[in-house]
Structures are given as structure tokens and as C-alpha cells.
Amino acid sequence: YGFINTCLKSLVVEKYGEETWEKLRLQAGVQDSFLTFEVYKDEITMQLVDKACKVLGVPADIVLREFGKYFFEFCKRSGYDHMLRTLGGNLYEFIENLDALHSYLSLSYQASLIATAEQEMNAPSFRVEKNEDGSMHLHYYSDRRGLCHIVPGIIGAAALDFFNIEISMKIVNQTEEEERTGKKEHIVFLVTQNPLFPCKERNEFSSSSQCLVDSEKQIENQLNKEDLEKAKNANGDRGNSVCPVKKSHWKTLRGIITLGKGKLLRGFDPVYPKSLWIDTKTFCNGLPFHMVFDKELKVKQAGVSIQKIVPGLQTMGISLDQYFRIIHPEVPFTISSIQKFINSQFVFQTRREMMPESWKERPMLELRGQMMWMEPLQCMLYLCSPLLRSLHELEERQMHIADIAPHDVTRDLILLNQQRLAEMELSSQLERKKEELRILSKHLEEEKKKTEALLYAMLPQHVANQLKEGKRVEAGEFKECTILFSDVVTFTNICAQCEPIQIVLMLNSMYLRFDRLTTVHDVYKVETIGDAYMVVGGVPVPVPTHAERVANFALGMIMAAKGVQNPVSGNPIQIRVGIHTGPVLAGVVGEKMPRYCLFGDTVNIASRMESHGVPSKIHLSSSAYQCLKYKNFEITERGEIEVKGKGKMHTYFLIRNKSATENEIMGRP
């Protein structure tokens, strides 16, 4: 179910971050989120575990153990804390009732699937055995191989949290057994307990032998000799018989308490009648769902309601396995297998082929209950109730509430579960809507980022943000910046001899290279008009290194242009580059297709440097030269030239950067 995968995601995100989860998820090829009651393939979980081991560089057994610990905490946070705490008063009882918990949860989870195809919650099974030295053998059965290391994590976390003990678990046996559904992994763990706190601080270990001894000593010390003497007198003269039997201190104390000194603190001795005060008919009517069978599985007795549903049981002596199959635990239908799992809940299902012909279209009835071995009779008693999740299932089997005994809580469970079904369906719908909204929100965020990226490519980010907020962008004066213009040599002739699409492809190839260089050298692209390309350094964010940035960008342009082919000659294209440094005024012009434009004589002079330049050369004004002459650039003097509209100007050529390699200029690794 999605609950497991959600827990695994939560573990990775909480301990290693969202980025690690995203990387793991993409490698595993699974979705980002999971619905709690949705059924997912086991392969998804296995893939996630496998990729987690590789991404985190941690062995599988450690990952699974950590997942087990976290899964326990995740269950507590998800509302199962109270349910888990009440499973048992000590670790043995807790483990012994895990199968019962799975059986209950299967009702909830399967109920959510009634509208679709019915599916079983394929939970693992546990069986625990006590050893004389206080240790336990935990038997773990599962159809899913390779996940056994989760068990020590879960059980260890539960023991520490609920019972204040540390445990160690090691695998002592590992086999595969042929069960009803095929091969089933069977792992045997040796569980040893190590108390963390003194016995008196842990009520859960009241049944342990050491606690019992300590408690006896405490009570014995509190009682005075007079009470002991009175107890002995009250018990009569049996102690003075011919064969006196020495009583232990604890038996003496029990006598005192039983005689009225207080409530019995420990132990309980039930009282049984000499004969059973109930007749057969009343028993079969009072417990309408019960069966008694012997070692050969021959039915000796059955309740009235189960006879009504399975008419074949009215023929005493028939074999039980002819009419039923064991659904849980998944064991062979033999008396020895049943005795091995005597503490587990047993689920029986009627066999379709043994039902009357007119009933074979009905869903088969399932019974759930406990087994009790009756040693004197050498027979097994199966006390059970119909396993029904809703009124719909009751009607499908043509049963009625009246068929269930008034004292059987199954009546209440069916009615309560009917209400719970409606709540779960609503919860499931809300969860699906939440997931849909999350996906839509994610897509919206992605589209927003694309829109912003497009907007920021057209306008400086702070200017774009002001326009998005509806604010007016005031023009700003920049006292010093460096402007670059470039154009393609003989562009007019190229256009005259080529198809328009060839021109577009050539310019696109060139501009893509130039655009990448603007990012490398952190300069702002102002605009392109035809073959003209304009950038600025120090605008819109003033920086002292504006001239160096533009100079390095210009050197990169000359190198990049060599990779663009002239569609007429087939040779690399040639460009002219002009650079000038000075003050400008910058601002946004227009409302439709707004552009961030630069104004001032600096723009005109930079354009003149380009138009009066030389092919494959970077033409510098004197102000640009002054900014670069002490910055490790190789510059040669061109001398005075006549500049249109400006008269004579002293200009220079930028040759190279003495301290930067070609790869650094081009932004290559």
C-alpha cells in the first residue's frame, strides 16, 4: 500500500533532504507521492530500497533496519500509537498479537477496495516461542524475500519505546517453506532482552521471575510475625499432620491475603464446575459459529448458523478440509500445523465446489476466530465469527444480522464499519484531490518559472519584478559603464546571395554562442537588430570590473565567430567589434513589448567604434583603453582616425588577455 512507500519517502526526505529523494526517485523511475489506501506493486518498494542502498552507499540490511525503526515512529505519528501500545503488556504478548493487528488493518484497507476488485492485504506473519533462559524465538513468514531485516528495526524500536528494554536479534535459521501460495520465506530470530531500568520501574515485566522474587521479598518484610502466625492458625492444623509439608513464604502470604487482609496481588486460580452446566442444544445455539474436530479433521460438532451456511456440516464425521480452506495463517490444513500456530487468529473460507449449485454465484464466506486444543477429548475447538466488512457483504451472502449471536461484537463491527467505509471513501477522495492539486501546483510552478525565465531574458530581473508588481520603473543614470557593438562583415552582400532561411540559421547559430558568453562573463545583452549585437557591462547592476568583463566577452565573440559558417563562401564569418566606456541613462521604454534601453552619447560612440572597426578586430576608444591598460590585456595603438560626427579620435585594438586561457575566455572546463 501507499502507506509503506510514503513512509520510505518521509525517511529519506527527513534524514537526507528533498534532493536525495528526487535523485533516488528518478533512478527508481517512480512517482513523487503515493496515496495511503492505493495498492502499488511490490517492485516499486523493492526498487526504492535498492536505489537507496546505491545512492546512500549503505548496505541493504542497515537500510532496512533503519527503515524498520523509522516505520515504527511513522506509524505512531500516523495515529496508530494507542493501538500499538495496547497490543500486549510485555514484548512476548506484543509480538504474539501482531497477526491480530494485521487482521484488523486488513479490514480497513480491504474495505477501501470493495468498489474495485477485492484484494488481500498480504501482510507477514509472526509466531513467537519462549525459551527457558528468558530469550525468545521469533518466526517470521513472508512472501516478500529479502525484507527480513526490517523486523529487528521495528521490534527493537517497539521494545525500547513501550517496554523500556533493549533487545538484540540475530538470525538463527532461514528456510523456504511450501505454503498455500507457494514458497514462503521463513526466518527464525533469536531475541534476547536486556533491561534498561530496574524491575520496579517497569510494570510491563511484572511477570518476569526476578521481579516476582523481589516483590515477594518486599511484601514479606512488610508483614510482621504476628500476621504470619495468624495465617498459620487460620489454615488449621494441617501443618501438624503426620507428613507435614513445608509451605513457601509466598504461599503463606497468599493465604493471608485470601483470608481478607487485602486483594490478591499476584496469581489467579480459576474455579471450574464438576460438570458442564449447559446442554448441547443451548451451546450450539448460543455459539452459532463454532466447530469441533478431531486429529483426523473429522467434524464432531458445529454451531447452528454455520450449519445453515454450510449444510454439509450437518453430516457429522465429514472432513473439515473438504468444506473449508485455511486463508490465514498460510499453513497446510493439518492438526499439527494448526497446533503450531495455536495462538494465531485463523481465517477459514468455504470451498465453492462444495456449496449447493444455487449458491455458487455467491461470494464465499470467511470465518475468523481462535483455535483451542482440548487435551482430554483430543479435539480442536474453533470459536469463530463471520468475517464481514459491510452490510453489502452481508447481503451478498444472503445473511442477516439475526444470524449472528447477540453477544457477538461482529454485529456492531459491521454497522460501525459501514460508517467507517463512508468516512474512508471521503478521505480517499480528499487525498486524491489533494494529490491532483499538488500536481497542478507543481505544473503551475514550472510554467511560472518558464515565464519568468522568458521575461528575465527580455528585461533585467529587478526591472521585470517591478513591472509585475505594477510599479513604474524610473530611468536611472549610470556614471560609468562599457558598451559593445558588433556586426557581421559584408552582411548586406550575404543577404543578397542567400535564401532568408539561411540567414536566419546563420544568425541563430552565432547569437546562441554569444548569448552563452553573456552568462559566462556576466554582461547584459541589450538587444539585437539584424546582424548587430549590443551588450553592456555595469548596467543594470553597477560593477567596477565592467570594462574587463566586456573585453573578455569581446575576445570570446571573435573566437566563437570562427565556428559560424558563411552560407555564401562556406568560410567562417568575420565580425567587427567596437567598445566604448562612459556614462549612460537607462530605462524601460513603452508598455507593449517593453525594452530596457540605453541613452546617451556613449551609445553613439560605441556604435562608431564598431562601424569604423576592422574585420576580426576589437576596436577600443581612448576611454575604454584607459580602463583596460593596467588590467593584463595586450593592446596595440591604432592612432588617430576620422570618426563620423565626432572628428578625430585616438583609438586602439584589443589583442588578448595575458592572464586568461582560451578555455577560460570561452567558459569551457
pLDDT digits (tens, 9 = 90+) for 406-424: 888 888 877 777 777 777 7
In-domain check, residue 128: yes
How many Cβ atoms from other residues are within 10 Å of residue 409's Cβ? 11
Q: Of residues 49 and 610, which shows the higher confidence score?
A: 610
Report pLDDT digits (tens) over 11-67.
Answer: 888 888 888 888 888 888 888 777 766 777 777 888 888 888 888 888 888 888 888
Answer yes or no: do 368 and 478 share one domain: no
How confident is the model at residue 249, as a pLDDT?
Answer: 52
329 neighbors 344 (Cβ within 8 angstroms): yes
Answer yes or no: do 375 and 492 share one domain: no
Report pLDDT digits (tens) over 203-212.
Answer: 444 444 444 4
Answer yes or no: do 481 and 382 share one domain: no
How confident is the model at residue 532, as a pLDDT?
Answer: 93
Answer yes or no: do 528 and 659 share one domain: yes
How confident is the model at residue 246, as a pLDDT?
Answer: 46
Give strand ranges (E) for 590-662: 595-599, 618-620, 633-643, 647-657
In-domain check, residue 464: no
Sheet holding 324-328, edge to edge: 299-302, 290-294, 379-386, 366-374, 346-350, 324-328
For the chain, give the mean pLDDT.
81
pLDDT above 90 (res 604): yes
pLDDT above 60 (res 470): yes
C-alpha distance from residue 486 to each of 491, 569, 595 (Å)? 12, 21, 19
Q: For 377-397, give the DSSP string.
A: TTEEEEEEEE---SHHHHHHT
Q: For 572-590, give the DSSP string.
A: BP-EEEEEEEEEEEEEEE-
Query: Which of 10-14, 115-119, 260-264 has maximum average pLDDT?
Result: 10-14
How confident is the model at residue 183, as a pLDDT?
Answer: 55
541 neighbors 582 (Cβ within 8 angstroms): no
Q: Which residues contact 279 (CB under 8 A, 6 or more apart)?
A: none
Q: What is the largest CA-CA distance in the chain?
A: 143
In-domain check, residue 221: no
Q: How many domains does the chain have?
A: 3
Q: Which residues contact 114 (CB under 8 A, 6 or more apart)?
A: 389, 390, 392, 393, 421
Q: Of residues 396 and 488, which shows the higher confidence score?
A: 488
pLDDT above 80 (res 162): yes
In-domain check, residue 12: no
- Which H or E element spans position 231? helix 225-234
Q: Of residues 75 and 177, which shows the higher confidence score?
A: 75
Q: Give the model's confidence band at 596: pLDDT under 50 very low, under 70 low, under 90 confident, else very high.
A: confident
Query: Above pLDDT 90, what percent of the chain?
Result: 34
Q: Which of 4-13, 59-68, 216-225, 487-496 has the lowest mean pLDDT?
A: 216-225
Answer yes or no: do 357 and 477 share one domain: no
What is the domain-level CATH number for residue 331?
3.30.450.260
In-domain check, residue 159: yes
CA dist., res. 232 & res. 453, Å (int) = 95
What is the domain-level CATH number for residue 121?
3.90.1520.10
In-domain check, residue 436: no
Q: Which of 27-41, 423-437, 448-462, 494-508 has the lowest mean pLDDT?
A: 27-41
Report pLDDT digits (tens) over 532-544.
Answer: 999 999 988 899 9
- Which H or E element spans position 47? helix 42-56
What is the domain-level CATH number for residue 501?
3.30.70.1230
Q: Which of 177-191, 240-254, 292-306, 609-623 has the lowest mean pLDDT?
A: 240-254
Backbone torsions φ then ψ of 198, nearest 5 degrees:
-60, 155
Beta bridge partners of residue 656, listed in sequence order: 634
Q: Of residues 7 and 246, which shows the higher confidence score?
A: 7
Q: Cell 459491510: give the residue.
A: 390
Number of H helices, E strands in the chain: 24, 18
Is this model's pTM higher than 0.75 or not?
Answer: no
Domain end, chosen from 344, 368, 387, is at 387
- Which H or E element spans position 324? strand 324-328
User: Cell numbers at residue 23, please?
Assistant: 535523485
How confident is the model at residue 236, as a pLDDT?
Answer: 46
CA dist., res. 560 & res. 663, Å (int) = 11
Q: Give the model's confidence band at 234: pLDDT under 50 very low, under 70 low, under 90 confident, else very high.
A: very low
How confident is the model at residue 314, as a pLDDT?
Answer: 84
Alpha-carbon dihedral of residues 146, 151, 153, 158, nearest 10 degrees?
Answer: 170
> What average pLDDT does the segment 427-437 reach?
82
Answer yes or no: do 183 and 331 share one domain: no
In-domain check, residue 213: no
- Which H or E element spans position 414? helix 410-458
Q: Give the model's confidence band at 213: pLDDT under 50 very low, under 70 low, under 90 confident, else very high.
A: very low
How confident is the model at residue 562, as a pLDDT?
Answer: 92
CA dist., res. 607 & res. 579, Å (int) = 8
Answer yes or no: do 480 and 580 share one domain: yes
Answer yes or no: do 364 and 492 share one domain: no
How confident is the model at residue 206, as a pLDDT?
Answer: 40
CA dist., res. 608 & res. 605, Å (int) = 5
Q: Which of 574, 543, 557, 551 is nearest to 660 (CA)?
A: 551
pLDDT above 50 (res 264): no
How many Cβ atoms from other residues are within 10 Å of residue 259's Cβ? 12
Q: Of residues 430 and 501, which shows the higher confidence score?
A: 501
User: Cell numbers at residue 467, please?
Assistant: 513591472
Residue type at position 159: A
Q: For 546-568, give the DSSP string.
A: HHHHHHHHHHHHHHHHTTSB-TT
In-domain check, residue 79: yes
How many Cβ atoms from other residues are within 10 Å of residue 92's Cβ? 17
Q: Cell 485455511: give the residue.
A: 326
CA dist., res. 101 & res. 69, Å (int) = 18
Instruction: Report cis status (omega within 30 of 0) of the bond before 594.
Output: no
pLDDT above 90 (res 374): yes
pLDDT above 90 (res 561): yes
CA dist., res. 62 & res. 67, Å (int) = 8
Q: Which residue range forms the structural domain that includes residue 482? A: 473-666
Answer yes or no: do 496 and 629 share one domain: yes
Domain end, chosen from 195, 219, 239, is at 195
CA dist., res. 462 & res. 540, Å (int) = 9
> What average pLDDT does the segment 603-622 reach?
94
Answer yes or no: do 532 and 635 share one domain: yes
112 neighbors 151 (Cβ within 8 angstroms): no
Answer yes or no: do 358 and 497 share one domain: no
- How many angstroms separate the first and last alpha carbons of the chain? 47
How confident is the model at residue 509, as a pLDDT?
Answer: 94
Answer yes or no: do 371 and 484 share one domain: no
Domain end, chosen from 142, 168, 195, is at 195
